Amino acid sequence: MIEKTIAHIEANKEASVDRLKDFLRIESISTDPDCKPAMKRGAEWVHNLFLDCGIESEIVETPGHASVLADTGPAENGGPTILFYGHYDVQPTGDLSLWDSPPFEPTIRDGAIFARGSADDKGQILAHMLAVEAWRKAVGKLPIRVKFLVEGEEEIGSANLEKVVRDHKDRLSCDYVALSDTPKFDMATPAITYGTKGMIYKEIIVSGAKQNLHSGSFGGTLTNPGNALAQIIASLRDGDNRVTIPGFYDDVLPLTDEEKEKMQALPFDEAAYMKGMAVPSLEGEKGYSTLERRWTRPTLDVNGLLGGFTGTGSSTVIPATAMAKVSMRIVPNQDAQKISKAFDNAVLAAAPKGIRIEILTHAMCGAYVSPLGTPGMNAAAKAMEAGFGKAPYFIREGGTLPILPMFKEVLGAESLMMGLCMPNCNAHGPNEFFHVSDLHNGARASAHFINELAQVR
Amino acid sequence: MIEKTIAHIEANKEASVDRLKDFLRIESISTDPDCKPAMKRGAEWVHNLFLDCGIESEIVETPGHASVLADTGPAENGGPTILFYGHYDVQPTGDLSLWDSPPFEPTIRDGAIFARGSADDKGQILAHMLAVEAWRKAVGKLPIRVKFLVEGEEEIGSANLEKVVRDHKDRLSCDYVALSDTPKFDMATPAITYGTKGMIYKEIIVSGAKQNLHSGSFGGTLTNPGNALAQIIASLRDGDNRVTIPGFYDDVLPLTDEEKEKMQALPFDEAAYMKGMAVPSLEGEKGYSTLERRWTRPTLDVNGLLGGFTGTGSSTVIPATAMAKVSMRIVPNQDAQKISKAFDNAVLAAAPKGIRIEILTHAMCGAYVSPLGTPGMNAAAKAMEAGFGKAPYFIREGGTLPILPMFKEVLGAESLMMGLCMPNCNAHGPNEFFHVSDLHNGARASAHFINELAQVR
């Protein structure tokens, strides 16, 4: 059966590329009100592909952009149910002059399709759709039940996704969620991302006098909110780049020996990484390797600073207010609520006298780790190897995917992150690309994934 | 003689107010290119007043706006020579809707003339001019030699003033410079400001990666310029609000007992001062009173902060760069060059690894203190008492007047700051005002000042 499916994928390579190009021509920028008709066309394009291969599908409207829910129906021999998640909306193009070819006119150069959304996420979700289509057209029935949830608001924070999932909890019930919104390790090597960090995003607003004051006439008689803010931020970390918030590390789980070994075994090129960022040296929490810090240790970073006079030259004001955006990435077993509270307390404790402090919380989300060694994870690994011709690396990610803890909570399902695109695919920048070979390899891997899961009883 | 002069001033009060109104109708905004013709009229107005009372006067052109130089000529009996300094240019009006009457249509309300430039500086310099005119018209000859330097670029940094003074050094030679660009103590009490702070204005630019980076994907592996900047700024002061830059206080002279006593004796209302700024408490360097800190202790203040994402909500970037404007007000005997260098060294010493630092110097100027007890200072004090009916307080000022050390250096003369306006005169804001009584009191005080100096042999 799998042979027939793979043969179908191979025989339709050219048509698949044309279909991706067709998908990419739709200007489905979810943040742009002018793109509302294109967003509708994007949902319909996905919906029609499912209908075309005889899969039940529905466009579910939301107060924002619609989601497409599809379902191949119960499998004859039971087995696990898989839910593929993806999104048909894309990022804005940004400055068009930075694109070598127009973002909505897909162009192939050096084996890659350049277009907005090619990697994030149209190319990747289409690979999964093509696999299911191949099963349908080459074999007829799928050996397991496969569902799809393709949303239209990923690039604007998935505001309505949780409600859609809760409202359609039974329809979406599954054993695993599979998604490709993470990268491969490098050109030749696929990767399964098994952990993402959580995030708590704060804004600290320090207020002093009712207006900016002359630093000569008033200096030395009141607390300067700019100095106070610097003092507060500086107090949150020590000289070893450890976060000093009381209790911050209390619940952090140490890495297992297996994880440590796997991480040390990865061919991670520190020099190339450093050169890519163009920093003088790599720095971070003392006692941990670069990859450990990046993927598994909680961090605290200033994201923005603003206060007083910021133009060219000089203006001698004592700022009335100063603001910092500060976020923390947290790791498994850290409690977001607890860390959030500890942060607020630490900020207030570090504040000097003579000012007022306001702390806003813009985001709060826990970390997610997908257990290794589950039948689903093993099937994903075998499928990636079959699709790409090389066993995947198991990696973690410093970024945050709030939908993963949500799927876990609402559907009770773990997520499998089977990335198909390149780490440098320019996902949110100009000249976003997706390798043609990764479309085909991804489709094959997805087909194998379904086949592998069918062996799980 | 002085009686005749005072009588002339008294007899011409109404005419003097009309003349000030006339002067104030000239829209001499030095920063506004459209006001070039008005600037020319401003210089001519001053020049013509001198010519009208038979005083030698010249409009000296500069690459910017002209200065007016006037001279009553050598006095018969010698005696000290005085140079009155002032300016005919004014600040922009700002938002016209905030003015209760149009800024260039002088309007009298509650005994005060409301107009742009009424206090800063047309009303004040006119008071000095009226005194000299009164001497000329009532007596004929002046008992001492009086010179004037009235520039047109004070509100834009006096860019060409030093060159004018150096080019006309002999013409401007004098024993004292007298100016009124500082306030009275309160409505009833005149003040002589005998000290101003110097200033060193720095900009610290911290650079990390070549572009803003995703704080999830890269956090924990590089030094965040925002955190680094906070760390650097925080290191420059300790918990007692003392500046920690090595050697910073080494050359600061302790206050004399006389100064301390005079300062403690001033009826300074701390509660009102705090309420005016609307801060929760007054804070500053431990061990010094509010007035001591404000007038006599060196300070270090953040004037501006900028880095990363500063919009509404959240964006998870590690800023590529972060910038702070930081200025220090220095006091007599501190060497600006030495403190500037010490600041740079302290910043570099506090910087963590993994970033690049650039430090710009936008301004550097020493403090100025006019010695107490000189014949000129004694004459000024007596004159203020005679003019205002109350002895002046001797106060200092946290602000910086770079022209004072320049006069000292080029002309070898100390400056006497005989302020005539109210501390809350809205000098650079809407509804700037100058009390009509202060115009007359100021003219009388100036006339007495000339008379008092004539007693000095």
Residue B211: pLDDT band with limits 50, 70, 90? confident
Q: pLDDT tens, B74-117? A: 998 889 999 999 999 998 888 899 899 999 999 999 999 999 99
Cα B46 from Cα B19, distance rounded (Å): 11
Compute the distance between CA of residue A187 and CA of residue A189 in angstroms, rounded to an integer: 6
Q: CA-based angle B165:B170:B174, to the nearest 5? A: 85
Sorted by sequence, the CB contacts under 8 Å of residue A206 that are 6+ apart come out as A225, A226, A228, A229, A232, A321, A322, A323, A351, A355, A356, A357
H-helix or E-strand spanning residue A86: strand A81-87
Q: What does the alpha-carbon distance between residue B225 and residue B20 come to, in Å, rounded to a whole number?
A: 54
Give B64's DSSP letter.
S
Report helix, strand or coil for B422: coil
**Partner A contacted by B367 (CB < 8 A):** no
Per-residue pLDDT tens over the stretch A263-276? 899 999 999 999 98
Query: What tokens appear for B295 in the block?
Result: 């007038």
Residue of B nearest to A329 (CA): B216
Give the best residue of B202, B281, B301, B312 to mutate against chain A (max A CB count within 10 A): B301
Domains A2-196+367-454 and A198-253+272-365 belong to one CATH topology? no
Helix (H, G, I), strand (E, B) or coil at A436: helix
A311 in helix, strand or coil? coil
What is the b/e burial string over B182-195, where b = at least 16 CB atoms within 10 angstroms of the residue's CB?
bbbbeeebbbbbbb
Residues of chain A with pLDDT under 70: 457
Q: Is the ipTM of this complex over 0.90?
A: no
- CA A455 to chain CA mean position, Å: 30
The SS3 call for residue A57 is strand
Q: Does A364 touch chain B (CB under 8 A)?
A: no
Q: Note whether A303 contacts B: Cβ–Cβ < 8 A.
A: yes
Q: What is the bridge-based pairing of β-strands A368-369 and A191-196?
A: antiparallel
Centre a 10 Å sphere on the Cβ of residue A364 and count the other Cβ atoms it contains: 17
Could you say which of A215, A281, A310 has the minimum Cβ distance to residue B354?
A281
Distance between CA atoms of A67 and A50, rounded to whole angstroms?
13
Bridge partners (DSSP) of residue B433 are B114
Residues of A in Cβ contact (< 8 Å) with B308: 302-305, 325
Partner-chain contact A282 B353, CB within 8 Å:
no
By three-state DSSP, how is residue B393 classified?
A: strand
Q: Quote the tokens at residue A256.
A: 């297992």
Helical spans, DSSP H, in A207-279? 215-218, 225-235, 257-265, 270-277
The fold adopted by the segment(s) B198-252+298-365 is: Alpha-Beta Plaits (3.30.70)
B325/A contact by beta carbon, under 8 A: yes
Q: Given a cut of 90, is residue B70 above it in pLDDT?
A: yes
Q: Is B262 exposed, middle or buried (0-12, 13-18, 19+ CB in 10 A)?
A: middle
pLDDT of residue B77: 86
Task: Give the per-residue SS3 of B107-121.
Answer: EEECCEEECCCHHHH
Task: Confirm if A193 and A419 have CB atoms less than 8 A apart.
Answer: yes
Question: Sign of dihedral through CA atoms A408, A411, A417, A420?
Answer: negative
Please tell me the distance from the alpha carbon of residue A428 to that of residue B375, in angstroms, as a whole number. Answer: 73
Provide the token pair at A50: 């499912």
Name which of A229, A299, A325, A358 to mutate to probe chain B: the one with the most chain B Cβ atoms within 10 A of its Cβ.
Answer: A325
pLDDT at A412: 97
Chain B touched by A202 (CB under 8 Å): no
The radius of gyration of chain B's CA atoms, rounded to the nearest angstrom, is 24
d(CA B392, CA B372): 13
For helices A36-52 and A123-134, the axis angle rounded to 10 degrees is: 20
CB-CB under 8 Å, B233 with A227: yes
Give per-residue pLDDT as tens, B372-403.
999 999 999 999 999 999 999 999 989 899 99
- Which structure tokens are listed for A7? 């043969």
| First CA to last CA distance, chain B | 18
The shortest CB-CB distance from B209 to any of A231, A279, A307 is to A279
A335 preceded by cis ω (within 30°)? no
Main-chain phi, psi angles of B402, to 5 degrees: -60, -20
pLDDT at B457 over 80: no
Question: Which segments of A315-400 are extended strands (E)?
Answer: 317-318, 321-330, 356-365, 368-369, 393-397
- Contacts of B272-281 with CB under 8 Å at 24 or more apart are B273/A221, B277/A208, B277/A209, B277/A210, B277/A213, B277/A218, B277/A222, B278/A209, B278/A210, B279/A208, B279/A209, B279/A222, B279/A223, B279/A354, B279/A355, B280/A353, B280/A354, B280/A355, B280/A356, B281/A223, B281/A353, B281/A354
Residues 264-293 of A with CB under 8 A from B: 273, 277-285, 290, 293
**Is the CB of A235 less than 8 angstroms away from the CB of B234?**
yes
How distant, in Å, are the alpha carbons of A12, B122, B382 from that of B38?
80, 14, 37
The span from the CA of A433 to the CA of A99, in Å, is 11
Whether B396 has its CB under 8 Å from any CB of chain A: the answer is: no
How many CA atoms lie less than 13 Å away from B125 in the CB half-sphere?
32
SS3 A314: coil
Contact in structure between A204 and A440 (CB atoms under 8 Å): no
- Tokens read off for B85: 């300094």
Instruction: Identify the pLDDT of residue A378.
Output: 97
Q: How far apart are CA A92 and CA A97, in angstroms?
A: 14
What CA–CA distance (Å, rounded) separates B408 from B374? 15
Residue B24 to residue A104: CA distance in whole angstroms? 62
For residues B205-227, average pLDDT: 94
Please determine, looking at this structure, whether the domain spanning B2-196+368-454 carries the CATH number 3.40.630.10: yes
Q: Which two tokens stand for residue B230?
A: 């906070």
Residue of A240, A281, A305, A365 to mutate for B, most B C-beta atoms under 10 A: A305
- Please state which of the four CATH numbers 3.40.630.10, 3.20.20.70, 3.40.50.300, 3.90.320.10 is assigned to the domain occupying A2-196+367-454: 3.40.630.10
- Say which of A218, A294, A304 has its CB closest to residue B398: A218
Which 3 state secondary structure label does DSSP give A280?
A: coil
As a dihedral over the C-alpha atoms of residue B439, residue B440, residue B445, residue B448, rounded to 10 degrees, the angle is: 140
CB atoms within 10 A of CB B260: 14
DSSP assignment string, A407-428: HHHHH--EEEEEE-B-TTS-TT
Cα–Cα distances (Å) from A105 to A20, A119, A125, B90, B439, in that order, read 11, 15, 19, 58, 74
B278, two tokens: 């609307």
The DSSP bridge pattern shows strands B317-318 and B213-214 to be antiparallel
What percent of chain B has pLDDT above 90?
87
Q: What is the pLDDT of residue B1?
A: 87
Both tokens of A143, joined, read 């050996």
Token pair, residue B118, equals 């009424």
CATH for A198-253+272-365 is: 3.30.70.360
- Nearest-CA residue of chain A relative to B281? A354
Q: Residues A50, A70: contact at Cβ < 8 Å?
A: yes
Q: Which residues of A touch B329 (CB under 8 A)?
A: 215-216, 219-220
Contact between residue A231 and residue A345 where contact means Cβ atoms under 8 Å apart: no
Report how far apart, in Å, the C-alpha atoms of B253 and of each of A184, B298, B402 are.
Answer: 66, 11, 20
The residue with tokens 């001497």 is B135
Helix (H) or strand (E) holding A447: helix A436-454
As to burial, measured by CB atoms within 10 angstroms (0-12 exposed, 13-18 middle, 19+ buried), residue B418 is buried
- The enclosing H or E element of B390 equals none
Partner A contacted by B426 (CB < 8 A)? no
pTM score, whole prediction: 0.88
Domain ranges of chain A: 2-196+367-454, 198-253+272-365
